[in-house]
Amino acid sequence: MHRIKYIIQKEFRQIRRDRPMLIILFLLPIVQLLILGYVVSSEVKNIRTVICDLDNTPLSRDLVGRLINSGYFDVKYFEASESQLPQYFDLGKAMVALVIPRHFARDLARNKPTQIQVLMDGQDSNSAVIAMGYIGGILENFLTDRLTRQMAEYAGVLDIHLVTPVIRVWYNEDLKYSNFMVPGIVVFLLTMVTSLVSAMGLVRERELGTLEQLLVAPIKKHELLIGKLIPFAILGFVVLTLGIALAKVWYDIPIVGNLGLIALFSFLYLFSTLGIGLFVSASARTQQQAMFMTFFLLVFFMLMSGFFVPIENMPESIQYVTYLNPMRYFMLVVREVFIKGANLSHLYWQGIALLIFGSGIFTFATMRFQKRMK
């Protein structure tokens, strides 16, 4: 028991003196969180738009005005000639072009069918589809208003009832994307710090040759491993606390659920991440190898966790693969607790999964870690 304490002591002493490591451990997560929170966003705003209003009537200008006032479109250019439009796309000056045909207002007034042309740059298909939705919505509003007005004029009826959906969003009322992403980033940071740093910490001793000395000391394998891993678990919790504090203070993310629950699940999750670190360090000979191996695993975990891409959007066969990813469960837990305030009764399956993975990975890695040399 005492030996564990000595190893922990030594480990903290070394961490404290390793300035680059300290920066990686604390400054980097903060910077990452501050930057990533803004970068990682699938909200589509400021869509560069060019308008070609060939009609130029009060009605057509009303439509253009609605587009501008929606806040989604950044109308930068007005083009008089339709034939000039392709170059806006070619030069990347616009993503959307709206063409209002000549006689748009007159045709509409005469009840003749009329069309509006919307041209789109489909490279970023996701944004294009979302932009299309916005335009559809704006047009719909435009027409509804017109219809209401017309009916009022013709029939003298002022009170017209159309079906309007009343939408109420639960949990993330403002539909703030950061409410969803920032907890995800916190998860990712915790994963990275604990798996990567623990892997590096053990491999460094192998690289230095100090591991050979530790191995010949009358110390049991579990004492050595516990002593080496506890400091990284503690660091993980520090990073987690830092991340949550930043999410709250900087991003103003509502934390509806119980933080104790987050702590509990983090504890369970750490067995997986530290286990991965241990597994990597049992296989890698140099810190460089350890880093590559960990990054490879991390990218896999991240992509398969629902961090960016919702798991439901993945092909079915891939969805099954995600069940093998401990990060998937923890990601869900953190988001549910943060945003929905889920409690243990909603999450116990995730808890069981994390427990199974944690003990599995940890046991396997411990077995791989030999007290003898290869």
Partner 1 sequence: MTYDINIVDVSKRFGSTVALDGLTLNVRQGEMFGLIGPDGAGKTTLLRILCGLYLADAGHHLLAGVDGRKKMRTVRSFIGYMPQRFSLYPDLSVAENMRFFADLFQVPHKEREIRLQRLLEFSRLGPFIDRRAHALSGGMKQKLALSCTLIHTPKILLLDEPSTGVDPVSRREFWSILAELRGQGVTILVTTPYMDEAARCDRIAFIHKGKILVTDEPTAIPSLFKKNLLELHCRQHVMAARFLEQSRAFESVKIFGDRLHVSSHKPNAQTTRLIKSTLAAANIDVISIKPVQARIEDVFVELLQ
Contacts to partner 1 by CB under 8 A: 2-3, 6-7, 10, 13-14, 17-18, 208-210, 212-219, 372-373
CB closer to partner 1, 108 vs 235: 235
Measured from the CB of residue 193, what is the shortest distance to partner 1 in angstroms? 20
CB closer to partner 1, 218 vs 315: 218
* Cα distance between residue 307 and residue 72, in whole Å: 25
Measured from the CB of residue 229, what is the shortest distance to partner 1 in angstroms? 17
**What is the strand order of the sheet 73-78 is part of?**
73-78, 47-53, 96-100, 117-120
Q: In terms of DSSP bridges, do strands 96-100 and 117-120 run parallel, antiparallel, or are they unpaired?
A: antiparallel
Contact 204, 18 (CB under 8 A): no
Cα angle value 326/330/336 (rounded, 5°): 150
The string of DSSP codes covering 75-95 is: EEEE-S-GGGHHHHHHTTS-S
Both tokens of residue 239?
A: 């990073």
CB closer to partner 1, 18 vs 107: 18
CB closer to partner 1, 235 vs 298: 235
Measured from the CB of residue 4, what is the shortest distance to partner 1 in angstroms? 11
* Cα distance between residue 291 and residue 198, in whole Å: 11
CB closer to partner 1, 135 vs 229: 229
Mutual angle of helices 259-283 and 221-249, in 10-degree steps: 130
Contact 5, 91 (CB under 8 A): no
Measured from the CB of residue 350, what is the shortest distance to partner 1 in angstroms? 39
Measured from the CB of residue 272, what is the shortest distance to partner 1 in angstroms? 29
Measured from the CB of residue 14, what is the shortest distance to partner 1 in angstroms? 5
CB closer to partner 1, 14 vs 258: 14
Contact 61, 94 (CB under 8 A): no
3-state secondary structure (DSSP) of residue 51: strand
CB closer to partner 1, 45 vs 220: 220
Measured from the CB of residue 30, what is the shortest distance to partner 1 in angstroms? 24
What is residue 42's DSSP assignment? -
CB closer to partner 1, 11 vs 53: 11
Measured from the CB of residue 1, what is the shortest distance to partner 1 in angstroms? 11
Cα angle value 285/297/22 (rounded, 5°): 70
CA distances, 306 to each of 203, 267, 297, 332, 358 (Å): 30, 21, 15, 8, 19
